Amino acid sequence: MIIGLTGGIASGKSTVASMLVERGALLVDADQVAREVVMPGEPALEAIASAFGQAVIQEDGTLNRAALGEIVFKDKEKLRKLESITHPAIRERMQAQIRRYAAEQPDKLVLADIPLLYETKQEAQYEGVMVVYVPKEVQCIRLMERNHMTREQALQRISNQMDIEEKRKHADWVIDNSGSLEETKLQLDQFWQSRGLL
């Protein structure tokens, strides 16, 4: 079974992914793949340098994420430009990894962790989508604490994604992660048993 895992920024998606991996799921992480496709020598990194200038490349040839973030998170047009470079490269590499896992271990749950799954219209590629949910206010507080942001900066980042309530409506499974870790674990146990996973 191959499912998509998504949620809002700072919803605790990585925590849920880890809990599922502990139960035996195989994880394909979009964030990890996103880091791989912008390594020195990768075509996507060269395309980013062409589009945004050498200021986004550090002296050692790696991507200066902070500099790039400053440019794209203030300008939706530039963010779209960056996504048009990175998303196809990420998607291609993820699909290859998913196919490999499914072929090698067909009885396992394969989890595609994709923060912008709905925004990039990938839901139809999966047998179902699990959304990790927390209310927007909780997202904001967690993001401010985790990334040392102002409320305004946190809300700006949150607004770059589809509204969490909208994602919740589209989900096949919702994991409410606004309570304790124990409560989250219980929900995942129920999901695991309902799918007949071992």
Q: What is the pTM of this model?
A: 0.84
**Burial environment of residue 29 by CB neighbours within 10 A (0 to 12, 13 to 18, 19 or more):** buried
Q: Given this model, what pLDDT does residue 120 score?
A: 87
Which domains are seen in the chain, by residue range? 1-25+108-198 (3.40.50.300), 31-107 (3.40.50.300)
d(CA 36, CA 14): 18
pLDDT of residue 190: 94
Rounded to 5 degrees, what are φ and ψ at 136?
-55, -40
- pLDDT tens string for the chain (198 positions)? 999 999 999 999 999 999 999 999 999 999 999 999 999 999 999 999 999 999 999 999 999 999 999 999 889 899 999 999 998 999 999 999 999 999 999 999 999 999 989 988 999 999 999 999 999 999 999 999 999 999 999 998 899 889 999 999 999 999 999 999 999 999 999 999 988 875
Q: How far is C-alpha 176 from the chain's CA centre?
A: 17
Cα distances (angstroms) measured from residue 48 to each of 18, 78, 94, 191: 31, 11, 20, 40
Q: Computed from CA positions of residues 9, 20, 86, 7, in that sequence, does the dihedral angle turn out positive or negative?
A: negative
Task: Write the Ramachandran bin of 175: left for phi over 0, alpha for psi from -120 to 50, otherwise beta.
Answer: beta
Alpha helices in the chain (DSSP H): 13-22, 30-36, 43-52, 65-72, 76-104, 136-147, 151-159, 164-170, 181-194
CA 165, distance to chain mean position in Å, is 17
| Distances from the Cα of 109 to the Cα of 48, 50, 139, 159, angstroms | 34, 39, 28, 31
The pLDDT score that the predictor gives to residue 90 is: 94
CA distance 90 to 62: 17
Look at strands 26-29 and 110-113 and give their pairing: parallel
pLDDT at 186: 96
